[in-house]
Amino acid sequence: MKAQQTSQWPVPVSIAPDTLTEIQSELARDWAQVCEKAQQGQLECPKDRRFSGEAWAASQPALLAAHSYLLSARTMFRMVDAASVPDAVRSRLRFSVMQWVEAMSPTNFLASNPEALGLFLQTQGESLQAGMRNLLSDLQKGRLSQTDESGFRLGENLAASQGAVVFENRLMQVIQYAPSTPSVHARPLLMVPPCINKFYILDLQPGNSLVEYAVSQGLTVFMISWRNPLPNEDGGIDACTWEDYLEEGVLTAVKVAGAISGQKQINALGFCVGGTMLASALALAKARGESPVAALTLLTTMLDFCDTGVLDVFVDELHAQWRERQLGAGGLMSARELNTTFSFLRPSELVWNYVADNYLKGRQPAPFDILYWNADSTNLPGPFFTWYFRNTYLENRLKDPGGVSVGGVPIDLGAIDVPCYLYGSREDHIVPWRSAYLSGRALGAPVRFVLGASGHIAGVVNPPSRNKRSYQVAGGESVDMSQEPDNWLERTDTIAGSWWPDLARWLKTHSGPMRKARTRLGSTRYPVIEDAPGRYVRVRAT
C-alpha cells in the first residue's frame, strides 16, 4: 500500500550554512557577469524560447531583465533543492515556487515585454485594445482561450467518424462506427475514454483520429461517450460512484458491443482514467466468473500509483478528507477546477504563454483540435471522484489483490489473464511512463509495452499519415515484467514514426477471422437512437 501522506505544514525550512554560502556566492558571481556584459552591450538572448525573438535581441535593458529573472529563478530552485525538509514538502515547495516564478516572467507584463511594447507602438495601441477585448471575452467564458474555437463543429470536423448511438443510459452512450472496409474482423473493439474529458480525443479531425484509423484497419469499433453531469440535474448522477461507472458504464458497454457483434468476447481499449476503469471492471467481472474481453489495451494508464508525477503535490490525507466532506455524499467536482489544475501543472505552456499572446499582444490563438478538446472538459460526480482519489492516488490500493472492493466484491487485477498491450508516453507528466510500465505487474497476463515519444496527449494522438515522432519496443511480443523500467529501456529499439501500426498489428492477431462487413448498425435489441457523435458529447460544462 502507498504510504499515506499527511499535511506537513508548518515545517521549519533550513539550509546548511555552507550550502547557502555556495548558492549566494554563485548568484553574486553570475550577476556580476551579467552586469558586466550589459554595460558592454554584449548580452545575448538566453536559451529560453520566451526571450528568443528579435525584439529581445535588440534591447539590452530587456535582455538584462530576462537574465536577471532566469538567474533569480535558478537560485530559488537551488534553495528549494538544498532545503532540509521531507521530500513531500520539497515537492510542494518546488511546485509553489514554480507557480510564482512562471507568473513573474518579464514576458507577462507590458512594460517588460519588448515584443508587446513594439506591437503597441506599431499599431498605435490597437494591439492592446484587441487584447482587452480578448480578456473580456475570456472573463465571460470563465476560462483562458488556448485556441480559436470558432472553426470547430462536433459531427462535422471533430468527432466526425460515421456511426450511430446504439445504446444510452444515465451515465453514457455507446456509439458504433460504420465500417470503411468490405470485410472486418469478427471480434469488435470497444474504446473506453476517460470520463474526465470528452471521448473525441480519440476521434479528432479526419486524418487525426484513432477511431478512423482503427476502422480503416478492418476493426469494428464501439465507443463510450460519457455523460457530462450538470448541477441540479435529475437522475441522481451527481451521487454516482465508482461502482456505478463500472457497472452501468464499462460492463454495460461491453455487453452491448458483444451482443451487437454476436461475440462472446470482445477486445477493449482504455485511455488514461478510462483504462483504470476498464481494468477494474474486468477484474470485477473475473471475480464473478466472467471473461467478456479477449485482449486488453491500456494507453497512458496507471494501475499502480506508486509515482503520480507532479500531481503528487495535491495528494495527502487532509485533502482527501476535505473532498470527502465536500463531495463524498453528492455534488460535482467542477470541470473548471479540474481544467485549471491540469493547466497549472505546466503554467508556462498552458497559461502564461496565452496571457502574453492573447492579452498583451492582442493576438487570436491558432485553431488546434487538441486544445479545443482540452477546453471541453466535464464535471465529475463527487462520490466517484473521492473514491478514486483515496483508493488510487492516496492509498494505491487498486494494484493489491483484494485491496479494494466494488459492490462488496474484492477485486484482483492479477486475475486478468488475457493478452495486454500497454502504451506509455515518454514525456508524460500526468501518467509517468515508468508508472504505466509498472502497472503491467498488477496484471496476470503477458504484456507488450510500447513507449512513445512526446506527452500525455500528443504521444497518443500520432497518426501514421503525419510520419512524426518515434516509439520504442523491446524484442518479442511480451515483456519480462521482472525487469525494472530503465533496464527495459536499455534493451529497446527505436522505430521512427507512429506506434499506431504496431497496435493495429497486435489487435488483428486477437480479433478473429475476417467476415463481410455489415452496413446496418445496431441490432433489433439495440436499435439506432441517433447519429454519432450523439447528444451527450455536445453538453458543455457550466
**For residues 411, 412, 413 and 419, what is the CA-based torsion angle, rounded to 10 degrees?**
-110
Find out whether 322 and 394 touch, Cβ atoms under 8 Å. no
Catalytic residue, candidates 195, 240, 272, 420: 272
**DSSP helix/strand/coil, 180:** coil
Please tell me the total number of residues recorded for the chain in this structure.
Answer: 542
Closest CA to 100 of 347, 424, 441: 347
Separation of alpha carbons 425 and 484, rounded Å = 17
Find out whether 58 and 114 touch, Cβ atoms under 8 Å. yes
Find out whether 432 and 307 touch, Cβ atoms under 8 Å. yes
Q: State yes or no: is 272 an active-site residue.
A: yes
Cα 73 to chain centroid distance, Å, stands at 27
Separation of alpha carbons 301 and 421, rounded Å = 11
Single-letter code of the amino acid located at 26: E
Cα 85 to chain centroid distance, Å, stands at 30
Tell me 536's DSSP state. G
The sign one gets for the Cα dihedral 379, 292, 295, 304 is positive
Find out whether 276 and 270 touch, Cβ atoms under 8 Å. yes
Separation of alpha carbons 457 and 469, rounded Å = 13
| Strand positions, DSSP E, 408-489 | 409-410, 420-425, 447-452, 470-473
Closest CA to 391 of 296, 327, 302: 302
Tell me 5's DSSP state. P
- Active site (catalytic) residues: 272
